[in-house]
Amino acid sequence: MNTPPLASPRQAPDHLAHRLAWLDSIRIALTVLVVVHHAAQPYGPTDWWYVEDQPRTGALAALSAVDGAFFMSLFFFVSAVFVPGSYDRHGAWRFLRGRLIRLGIPVMAGALTIVPGLMYAYYVHYRGYPPIPFPRYVTDVYLGFGNEPAGWSGPSWPDLQFGHLWFIQNLLAYSALYVLCRQAARLLTRRSGHPHRERREIPVPGHRALLCLTAAIAAATFAIRLRYPLDTWIPFLDFLQTEPARLPQYATFFTLGLLAHRHGWLDRFDARTGWTWLAGGLAGVALLFALGADASCFGPGGLDAPSALWAAYDSALCVALCVGLLTLFREIVTGGSRFSQELAADAYAVYIIHLPLVVTLQHYLAGRGLAAAAAWGAVSVAAVLSAFLLATGLRRLPGLRRVL
């Protein structure tokens, strides 16, 4: 989601301005979708959330499944598109330092403020232990310096986690890995004695390449979910919060974003191919809503036919919707307005700050007799508006503009 500082569309050449405008529009749409997705969590899917015992509906469970299939993969793709250019302009050290400031600071700040606040609210409302002051909760429970309470209900011990900031944390790790790969390639090129060897052009993917990509992602996803089902999070290297069940999608689309920049795929991709995949993706979405189904209907993972079917369906939706939406935004967005530029500039801050707003609204509406769809709609609208307004103000505070 986070992109490095770039020239605005008004300052850039026409072809670059058009690209920035439609990519910014995707980032805005995906950011809103993240807020809407989190607003639906207590009212549809059955996985863990900060608010419990709310009315549920199958439509929101299906919405959560559709979102999960593609939207973070598309975020990784769009973020990766800007990485090679930023690296080329700034060099390895300045690029990495910029990423540490722009990505690392929000992750650490959020893990020490936003996330413990959310987990403390869950501890107070749902865990059933005697109330304790927030500072003691942070030291004993969140950071784990105290003893694990009897009958601990999880989702993990200690409560320390990065919550929704996992994406920023993973994006930082991918960026660091990219720097290592570029430096290793530079070293190998020097040793080979051919420093000016021409880069081989990779053709724009067509139907066959996209089908092979889908099959490869599906196979890798099925294999990984034999051990790590959906919604299983692990602290890789005791720090990096990852969901292995979706790692094939995320890593693949980050890599594709890098390749798209290097080989000009965004401008040269055949729109007819994109429209075909979009139609297929929308048909898959419609079928999921018609069945009122989500991942829990097929099983989160395992050596069985339903899990294999869901891995294939999930992967096909991922590729089809990512390809289709990239085509849709490229073809229908012809320029950016000042308002859309402001929304795009605020999108990163909205991603960071929206979750406390969402959870607060969900707590406020709990027990008020609203149906699941009504509560979700109210939370979505209020959270989107308040998050963008708050982000606009925060970005103008001294010292925060460089980070947000």
Under the banding of pLDDT at 50, 70 and 90, the label for residue 352 is: very high
- Average pLDDT over the chain, rounded to whole? 87
Q: Helix crossing, 338-365 with 114-126: angle to 10°?
A: 20
What's the residue count for the chain? 404
Please report whether residue 4 resides in a domain.
no
Confidence bin at 333 (pLDDT 50/70/90) = confident
Mean of pLDDT values over 300-319: 86
56 contacts 43 by C-beta, under 8 angstroms: yes
φ, ψ of residue 335 to 5 degrees: the values are: 175, 170
Q: Give the range among 22-26, 53-57, 184-188, 365-369 with minimum mean pLDDT.
A: 184-188
403 is a domain residue: no
pLDDT of residue 45: 87
Which of 240 and 181 is assigned the larger pLDDT?
181
In three-state secondary structure terms, 236 is: strand
In a domain, 2, yes or no: no
Which pLDDT value is given to residue 156?
A: 77
Cα distance between residue 194 and residue 221, in whole Å = 38
Q: What percent of the chain has pLDDT over 90?
A: 63
Residue 4 — very low, low, confident or very high, per pLDDT cuts 50/70/90?
very low
Structural domain contains residue 401: no
Q: What pLDDT score was predicted for residue 338?
A: 85
Please, which pLDDT band fits residue 199 given cuts at 50, 70 and 90?
Answer: low
Count of structural domains, the chain? 1
In a domain, 35, yes or no: yes
Give the residue with greater pLDDT, 398 vs 107.
Answer: 107
Taking residues 358-371, what's their average pLDDT?
94
pLDDT the model gives residue 248: 95
Integer Cα distance of 17 and 224 in angstroms: 40
Inform me whether the pLDDT recorded for 3 exceeds 50. Answer: no
Asked if pLDDT for residue 14 goes beyond 80, the answer is no
The CA-to-CA distance between both ends of the chain, in Å, stands at: 12
pLDDT at position 299:
61
Q: Which domain holds residue 50?
A: 14-191+202-394
Query: Does residue 206 lie in a domain region?
Result: yes
Residue, of 15 and 80, whose pLDDT is higher: 80
What pLDDT is attached to residue 197? 59
Q: Distance between CA atoms of 74 and 291, rounded to whole angstroms?
A: 25
Q: Tell me, yes or no, whether 133 lies in a domain.
A: yes
pTM of the model: 0.90
Contact of 35 with 383, CB cutoff 8 Å: yes
Q: pLDDT digit string (tens) for 201-260? A: 888 999 999 999 999 999 999 999 999 988 888 887 767 889 999 999 999 999 999 999
Q: Among the listed ranges 4-18, 187-201, 270-284, 369-383, which one has the minimum average pLDDT value?
A: 4-18
Return the pLDDT at 5.
35
Q: Does any domain span residue 104?
A: yes
What CA–CA distances, in Å, run from 206 to 272, 276, 312? Answer: 10, 11, 20
